[in-house]
Every structure is written in C-alpha cells, then in structure tokens.
C-alpha cells in the first residue's frame, strides 16, 4: 500500500466499485479500490480472445441502462473517452418465415413491424415514453414512496404481471408477444413469474427513450473512463489484491464491498453480527450463462436482412419457445433450442475487427454451475435464422458457467446479475432493510449489483451505496 490508511476502501473494481469510489472521492475523501484480478472492470472487460485484431466484450456489451443512468450522466462519461454507438434499430427479433419484429427508438416505427399489435403496443408504452426522465429516475433506485406516484402506480400495474400474462392479454399476434418475451427474458426468470413484465417494460422503454448503444472500442472503455475519473480525484486502484478476510484491508473509516452477499459473509466474519450474516447467507443466486464469441469472415447473414440494422438480436421464434427455454434452467435442464441473445457490435464500430471482418457475441441461460458445452446449440439457433453463418466462423472462444465464476468470483455459479431477480429480492435486495447498502456495522457497506437497482453496467448501486456511507460515516449529505 502506498498509504497506510484511507477514508474509504472499496473491494472490487467492477463498474459499481469504481462508481462508489468516484462518489466518495468527489467529496474530497481518500479512496483506495482493491481488485483481485490483474485487470479492472469486472463485468465490463474487452479483450482479443479469439484472434489478434478482434476485440470482444467478455461480459457486458449493450448498455441501455448505462446511458440512462443518472450517475453516469452526472459523470459525463463522454468527457472521459466513452463514445456511445447507437444502431439504427435497438433490437431485432427474427422469425422462421424470414421476417422480423424491430424495436426502434420511434414507437411508431416499432409498431409498424408488429402488425395488428401496433396500437396496443403504442398504448402500453406511450405514457412512460412521454415521461422517460421521471420514469428512469424512479426505477434506478431502491423502492421508496415514488416522487411521481401516478406514473409509477400505472407502471406497477403492468410491471407486477408475468410476461406471459401481460403479453397474452395485450397482444394478439406472435410478433409482439415474442418481441416482448425476449426483453422480459433478461429477468432470467421463468416467464410465468410475476414481475417478469417489469424487465420487458424497462428495457423496451430504454430503447424508446434513448436506444440500446454499445461503446466504441468495447465496454472496457466504460471502466477505463471510471478509473481515469477516480484517479483524477486522487483515488488509488490496486490490482492483484484479493481480499479474503478483513486482515487484507488497509485501515479505513469505511469499507464498501463490490461483492455479492456470500463473499461478504466470508470476508467480514465477526465484523458483522451473526443474525445479519445468517440473513445475508440466505440470499439466492440465479442460473448461469454459457457464452460464445466469434471472429467472423463477414457479417452474420440474417434471413431477415433488417436484423443487420440492430446491434442486438434475440433468437427465439415464439413466446412459447422462449418461455420453455427460460424455465428449463430453473429445473436443471439444458434446452435444445435455447433463447439466445446475440450482439453484433462490429457492424456499427469498425474498431472491433480488421477491415471486412466481424465479431459476434452470444449467450444463453443454463442451470447454475453448469459445465455443459452449449456451443453447438447456440450456433444451431444462429444458423436457423442466418443460414451460412457457420461458414463464416474463423475462430471462437467459449466460457461456461463454472468458468465465469473463475473469471469473476462475483458470478456465483455463472449468475451474471448479482443474484436472482425473484419477487422477494426485487423488493428486498440483498435483505429487507430501509437502507439496503448499509449493514449493522457502521463501517461496512455493500455496493455491488446484489443491491438496488440490480444487475447491469450503470454504476447506480455503487453511487447510492457511497451516498449511504457518506451520510452515516462522514456526515456528508449528497
């Protein structure tokens, strides 16, 4: 350590850990971030993992919530080198007949791809699209009495429903149902569970509010920007510094863990009361993921040519097929036709691959701790909607759920969301507590995606946890 003591120490240099560090350092506090791995970034790293010149996002790729995040906005990430790359279409959802539903920023244009469901779709989304700033201010924080009660009551009535329930009552045709189900599947829950609609609504609204961008050069640029900002404020970052117990920490007045509850229980030991540790230990983790990155000789040859206008493509022909896939992993099963999330950033960002070449990014959900190789099943799904795809593959890199946890100890069993998104953990994340970031030990805080508002690269968990520590430990109200 270059100093013996700090005002605050953050464990973990993921997007939330770095955001927490910035929020603290902005108040003139001395901050040190400790990272176990050789490189910073957690779930926002980019590397040449297939062939030289092909830059792959190892985890996060598309950042609709990052771009609406009040914390990222306050940082003006663009000043720190982040360039959002907006595709013409936020999301494409192809079908076996060669057509596709498209999620545009424009409600009208989206509706045009949904046949008879154009009007119902617009009616569902419009009230929130018109008040997008208020809406995202409310949703990206812990559940509290809303500042915009009528807007949020209206949202709650839809959000609390299951995806299958809302889609079947609102939409008559398979296109809108499948498009909505693909967005709801980001909950990583069976689609008949209540609250799964909330994920579909939030992601679709982010598309209408601002689109679904990637970052020029890769998601790593976000954490590089966060790190540069933190250092400019005097913060330190130490890599190759795993924290396994409280003894591994330098002296500080506050410690913020960008870790999930299971790790915090192990590290903090007696520093937290037994009762609180037992409650944290009951925190539930979700299923894992299996991911493939491809170096390609050309763009993915979608049957529905309009899919080339989107950076994100969802593969699952009907709501029934997607629902079957999203409940299989909860039963310990591996679906033959998994719902696959594809990103094709190089279509919009020439820095990702050599001239004329492309990158492909895809994953599907699998049971927690799975080591089953899903490459063949994922590639079969892509080939189904893009015949000739396999002939373009120059090289691939795969990572299963077990390997994800080795890559990043926060991804327990391959869970990429920092914990299951079930109803209870939606209301009480990580446990039921008015200030979910605080612990009974006034020095210790949780700031990872296991706290509200949950998974994604948006920095809000870190920012809000830091504000809690600022108020409780340092008497600073932000």
Ligand X SMILES: Cc1cc2nc3c(=O)[nH]c(=O)nc-3n(C[C@H](O)[C@H](O)[C@H](O)COP(=O)(O)OP(=O)(O)OC[C@H]3O[C@@H](n4cnc5c(N)ncnc54)[C@H](O)[C@@H]3O)c2cc1C
Residue 175 near ligand X by CB under 6 A: no
Q: Closest distance between ligand X and the C-beta of residue 373, in Å?
A: 16
Q: Closest distance between ligand X and the C-beta of residue 366, in Å?
A: 11
Helix (H, G, I), strand (E, B) or coil at 233: coil
Binding-site size for ligand X (CB under 6 A) equals 41
Q: How far apart are alpha carbons 83 and 346 in whole angstroms? A: 14
| Cβ nearer to ligand X, comparing 32 with 304 | 32
The correct pick among 9, 13, 152, 340 for binding ligand X (CB under 6 A) is 13
Exposed e or buried b per residue across 102-124, where buried means at least 16 C-beta atoms within 10 angstroms of its C-beta: bbbbebeebbebbeebbebbbeb
Residue 456 near ligand X by CB under 6 A: yes
The correct pick among 23, 24, 32, 43 for binding ligand X (CB under 6 A) is 43
Sequence-ordered alpha helix ranges (H) in 99-162: 107-112, 118-129, 132-139, 149-159
Q: Closest distance between ligand X and the C-beta of residue 119, in Å?
A: 31
Place of tokens 């870790």: 259
Residue 396 near ligand X by CB under 6 A: no
Written as six digits, the tokens of 133 are: 């700033």
Tell which residue, 350, 86, 308, has the closest CA to residue 217.
350
The DSSP output letter for 438 is B
Residues 6 or more apart whose CB falls under 8 angstroms from that of 74 comprise none
Helix (H, G, I), strand (E, B) or coil at 430: coil
Considering only residues 418 to 447 of the shown chain, the ones binding ligand X according to CB under 6 A are: 418
Q: How far apart are alpha carbons 471 and 161 in whole angstroms? A: 36
Residue 69 near ligand X by CB under 6 A: no
| Cβ nearer to ligand X, comparing 37 with 384 | 37
Considering only residues 100 to 119 of the shown chain, the ones binding ligand X according to CB under 6 A are: none
The correct pick among 10, 22, 25, 36 for binding ligand X (CB under 6 A) is 36
The correct pick among 163, 280, 307, 416 for binding ligand X (CB under 6 A) is 416
Cβ count within 10 A of residue 290: 28
| Cβ nearer to ligand X, comparing 30 with 421 | 421
Q: Are 216 and 154 in contact (CB under 8 A)?
A: no
The correct pick among 60, 69, 187, 438 for binding ligand X (CB under 6 A) is 60
The correct pick among 14, 21, 217, 419 for binding ligand X (CB under 6 A) is 14
Query: What is the arrangement of strands in the sheet containing 444-446, beginning at the earlier edge strand?
Result: 236-238, 31-34, 5-11, 251-257, 444-446
Q: Closest distance between ligand X and the C-beta of residue 192, in Å?
A: 24
Residue 408 near ligand X by CB under 6 A: yes
Written as six digits, the tokens of 240 are: 């190759």
Place of tokens 């790729």: 61
Residue 300 near ligand X by CB under 6 A: no
Q: Closest distance between ligand X and the C-beta of residue 60, in Å?
A: 3
The correct pick among 11, 75, 152, 310 for binding ligand X (CB under 6 A) is 11
The correct pick among 37, 303, 396, 472 for binding ligand X (CB under 6 A) is 37
Cβ count within 10 A of residue 377: 18
Q: Are 381 and 337 in contact (CB under 8 A)?
A: yes
Q: Are 462 and 16 in contact (CB under 8 A)?
A: yes
| Cβ nearer to ligand X, comparing 92 with 124 | 92
Binding mask 256-295 for ligand X (x = CB under 6 A): --xx---x-------------------------x-x----
Residue 63 near ligand X by CB under 6 A: yes
Residue 34 near ligand X by CB under 6 A: yes
Residue 311 near ligand X by CB under 6 A: no
Residue 206 near ligand X by CB under 6 A: no
Q: Are 193 and 229 in contact (CB under 8 A)?
A: no
Residue 361 host element (H or E): strand 358-366
Residues lying near ligand X in the complex (CB under 6 A): 11-17, 34-37, 42-44, 59-63, 65-66, 242-243, 258-259, 263, 289, 291, 363, 404, 408-410, 416, 418, 448-449, 455-457, 461
């Amino acid at each position: 350590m270059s100093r013996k003591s700090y005002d605050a120490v953050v464990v973990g240099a993921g997007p939330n850990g770095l955001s927490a560090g910035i929020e603290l350092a902005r108040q003139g506090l001395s901050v040190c971030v400790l990272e176990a791995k050789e490189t910073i970034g957690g779930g926002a790293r980019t590397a040449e993992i297939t062939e030289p010149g092909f830059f792959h996002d190892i985890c996060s790729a598309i950042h609709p919530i990052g771009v609406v995040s009040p914390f990222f906005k306050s940082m003006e990430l663009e000043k720190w080198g982040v360039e959002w790359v907006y595709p013409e279409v936020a999301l494409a959802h192809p079908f076996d007949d060669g057509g596709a539903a498209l999620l545009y920023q424009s409600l009208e244009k989206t509706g045009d791809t949904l046949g008879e469901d154009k009007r119902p779709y617009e009616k569902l989304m419009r009230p929130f699209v018109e008040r997008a700033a208020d809406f995202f201010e409310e949703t990206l924080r812990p559940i509290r009495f809303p500042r915009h009660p009528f807007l949020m009551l209206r949202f709650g009535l839809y959000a609390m429903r299951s995806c299958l329930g809302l889609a079947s009552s609102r939409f008559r045709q398979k296109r809108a149902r499948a498009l909505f189900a693909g967005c709801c599947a980001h909950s990583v829950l069976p689609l008949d569970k209540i609250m799964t609609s909330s994920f579909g609504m939030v992601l679709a609204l982010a598309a209408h509010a601002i689109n679904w961008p990637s970052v020029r050069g890769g998601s790593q640029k976000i954490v590089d920007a966060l790190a540069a900002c933190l250092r400019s404020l005097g913060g330190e970052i130490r890599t190759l510094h795993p924290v396994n117990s409280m003894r591994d920490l330098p002296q500080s007045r506050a410690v913020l863990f960008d870790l999930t509850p299971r790790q915090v229980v192990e590290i903090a030991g007696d520093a937290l009361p037994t009762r609180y540790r037992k409650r944290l230990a009951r925190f539930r983790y979700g299923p894992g993921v299996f991911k493939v990155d491809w170096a390609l000789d050309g763009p993915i040859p979608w049957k529905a040519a309009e899919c080339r206008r989107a950076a994100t493509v969802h593969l699952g022909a009907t709501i029934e097929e997607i629902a079957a896939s999203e409940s299989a992993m909860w039963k310990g099963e591996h679906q033959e036709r998994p719902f696959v999330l594809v990103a094709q950033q190089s279509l919009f960002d020439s820095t990702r691959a050599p001239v004329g070449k492309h990158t492909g990014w895809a994953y599907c959900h699998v049971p927690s701790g799975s080591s089953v190789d899903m490459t063949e099943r994922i590639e079969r799904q892509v080939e189904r909607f893009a015949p000739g795809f396999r002939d373009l593959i120059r090289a691939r890199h795969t990572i299963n759920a077990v390997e994800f946890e080795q890559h990043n100890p926060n991804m327990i069993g391959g869970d990429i969301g920092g914990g299951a998104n079930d109803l209870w953990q939606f209301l009480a994340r990580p446990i039921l507590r008015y200030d979910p970031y605080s612990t009974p030990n006034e020095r210790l805080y949780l700031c990872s995606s296991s706290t509200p508002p949950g998974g994604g690269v948006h920095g809000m968990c870190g920012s809000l946890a830091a504000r809690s520590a600022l108020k409780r430990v340092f008497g600073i109200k932000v």
